[in-house]
Chains A and B, each alone.
Chain A
């Protein structure tokens, strides 16, 4: 019997309602088309709320030497020059306007003495560049976009999940999914679709990401024939909480280091001074005194080594722990309390500058960060890789399918700079929304073929047909998810080797077989077991893409570090790894040469070396 479903139609469907999705929906709606915004959770709960430090934009409010050119050069250097340079250019040029626009929509940023938007220091940024609100900038952004968006005539589908994209020939024409509350299947017909689903952090055990981060957009795009690029580059944020066990992985903002926090091993040594990469040497403080002056706004000082790029800091922490110099619970010490030696009112200052960090440690670890050092260690935070898109329009290789934010690849190359994510969301969310609306105006919604809809509907309900293992049905989904997370953490994590990754690839295949037979209990209404069963496919697709790309890149660069090839190799600087679904249904990998950078941009890079 055919499965019953409800049909909705919009010119543009945006999947995901974090910063990028909301910004895309606002822009598409402003262009006069009908917009449906689908979010996996309630509106305003997306992972953007977790962003703490700020939003990078060369407004030069604090240091007038800053400009889009310096921001561009910083982004390319941080990404180890395999970024999509066109995206890096647009991002650096347009970010200031996107920040000001947020203020015009109600965001309340911290201020400079002369009343402008205040900007703070962050890793890899040459000048103070992050517009911020204490350490809850992401919440400010999402709330501003949400509160603006609800007055724009956008239809919001809260707690809905998309499980398949539908096509007509090459072009994407719809999405299929369900609502969580009733478990009712839904067909969304659309002229264009924007993916804004965030990342894949749930493929790893220790992560700062929530349950939603199961790589849905990556997987949907892949299944629809789009290309995924740079999937080997996963960012392990250097500072996640490590204790108590239940909070392991929760983010400790880089803002702690921006405000003067230092990293020490168990011997009390500030180990970051021991290993400063060549290409950052002339931008790094010579001694602790200079580092401190930098954090206090001295324009003649260079940044402390704690503010080197995230990939590097994470590896240094990993090295200290492996060498037996870590903290009691397997991390290192991050100390902001020490600034009381420098500031008279340090305790109040810390609470004011880092209120949610103070709160988080007090409540979850019973630790007062104004008095004691924190214990921190690397946590899976972000994926630089994602859907390969056109830099100007954000359209993927599938016509009508757009991607923006973390789910899109290109801007960040091999490593993302802190603060470049929030600006990414709004710069490219806007562009995706604009071009999706344009595409939808030129290509009206069509009804997807019935057999595609039927197949998507069957796949949705299959786990129920198999039922629970207790009644002779399939295995439950949670164990498979945990096994995948453990394996990815151990074998495709911060330090990788060929043998480990080959073993992971075999492990993924075995888990795929088990996942295809997973069964669930209960009924369709708000059933998390069922939701987890459906998400498994996405996690496994992403895990395979990460592993295959990581095996292929036999060097160390940015977020990708190999013990068996621990140096950067210039011949790997000329291409990106791309995976797509092959004709037989298996994943195929290609090396895609990076187009030569425009001469004027090359000059910008040279001038800022």
Chain B
């Protein structure tokens, strides 16, 4: 949830998560843990938010050249040489190029540290879907960041 461009948006989403939980507490049936239920609300809100915002930033032409020119030109393995702030900006941008579902999966795994089964519970999708989405998200992010670093 913390990986949204605007911190106000993040806080608004977090507040909305608790409000929804409060309003729907009677619907909680203890089939999953309370934290999983809370994460499910948060994930759904985040996915809806990403869809609504439609922030798929794709740079073209001069903008893309300018963005690339700001990156270190040192050749080397992967994106390890990219400076911290640049990496942060590029990562966030790369995340936004993922679909909301792929973004949710990679963030729940890498940032929240959830297991595949927990992610499956939160997003209410099969474990195999979690694995394939994760594979796609990682491959996509790696490709983007590799290309940038390589440029």
Same complex for A and B? Answer no
Chain A residues engaging chain B, CB cutoff 8 angstroms:
none
